[in-house]
């Protein structure tokens, strides 16, 4: 008997329901206690029933609130479990993302600091007119019109060959840069609205810099097909660099836009040199353009 009692005491001691925090589970429901007390004491039953109805209403409200809170929590958990990669990317960004964001922030900060000629009354007001003229020298309209005038006045086959290929290079640069700008749609550091000449040259966005690309392409083209002295060659390289930087000073482009424009100008020059048109093809194109083309029989 003593062994059985010891076993029973051990079971009761190890029973989870005998713990203090679970003692309420062993007690009878409160409603039954209240009703039993009312019957035994003979008190008024209406007050008991009112208390019971109030408790039930409070319990229903609490259950509704808890169910709504639980549903919201479940929805949040589902959303969180649905997109775990985004949370991981936000909390643990990669080294590549940190490096790219840092470089972009540095690019924007430096470009805004270099935009000293944006306002007429800014720090670069004394040189603003000169910078504007320098940027205008790299615009597409003067180069296209100048090439057409030189082609119209040229009388040699070699000169016409060079000018026709230069015209095709300018058109290639214009269309390529306009397409890339339309695709990327990056705004400038100061988010300035495009002017009339920008609309004419389809230079409405920041990336890549059209003036920088055109200046490098024209410089390489002229240096490769004209015999120039060393000082003139240096001045031509310097002009291309200053044209690109003038757009940064005017707040039109970022530094990265100008750098990509320089690289794109080199690529355009290499492409034009690889598909160079000979003199016969250039004469055919000139005949078509002047409406004097006679097809070969």
Residues marked as catalytic = 211, 253
**What tokens were used for 200?**
């004419």
**Cβ-Cβ contacts under 8 Å for 159 (sequence gap 6 or more):** 150
Return the number of other C-beta atoms located less than 10 Å from residue 96's C-beta. Answer: 8
């Amino acid at each position: 008997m003593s062994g059985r009692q010891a076993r029973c005491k051990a079971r009761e001691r190890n029973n989870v329901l005998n713990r203090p925090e679970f003692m309420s589970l062993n007690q009878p429901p409160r409603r039954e206690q209240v009703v039993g007390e009312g019957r035994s004491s003979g008190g008024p039953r209406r007050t008991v029933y009112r208390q019971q109805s109030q408790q039930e209403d409070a319990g229903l409200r609490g259950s509704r609130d808890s169910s709504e809170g639980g549903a919201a929590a479940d929805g949040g958990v589902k959303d969180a479990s649905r997109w775990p990669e985004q949370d991981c990317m936000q909390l643990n960004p990669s080294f590549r993302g940190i490096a790219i964001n840092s470089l972009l922030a540095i690019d924007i900060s430096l470009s805004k600091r270099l935009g000293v000629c944006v306002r007429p009354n800014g720090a670069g007001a004394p040189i603003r007119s000169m910078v504007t003229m320098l940027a205008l020298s790299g615009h597409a309209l003067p180069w296209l019109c100048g090439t057409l005038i030189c082609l119209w006045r040229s009388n040699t086959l070699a000169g016409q060959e060079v000018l026709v290929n230069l015209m095709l290079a300018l058109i290639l640069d214009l269309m390529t840069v306009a397409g890339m700008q339309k695709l990327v749609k990056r705004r400038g550091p100061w988010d300035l609205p495009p002017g009339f000449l920008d609309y004419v040259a389809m230079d409405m966005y920041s990336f890549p810099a059209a003036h920088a690309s055109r200046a490098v392409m024209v410089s390489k083209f002229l240096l490769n097909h004209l015999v120039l002295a060393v000082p003139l060659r240096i001045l031509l390289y310097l002009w291309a660099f200053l044209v690109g930087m003038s757009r940064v000073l005017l707040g039109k482009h970022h530094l990265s836009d100008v750098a990509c424009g320089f690289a794109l100008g080199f690529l355009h020059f290499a492409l034009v040199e690889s598909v160079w048109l000979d003199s016969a093809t250039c004469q055919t194109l000139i005949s078509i353009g002047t409406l004097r083309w006679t097809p070969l029989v």
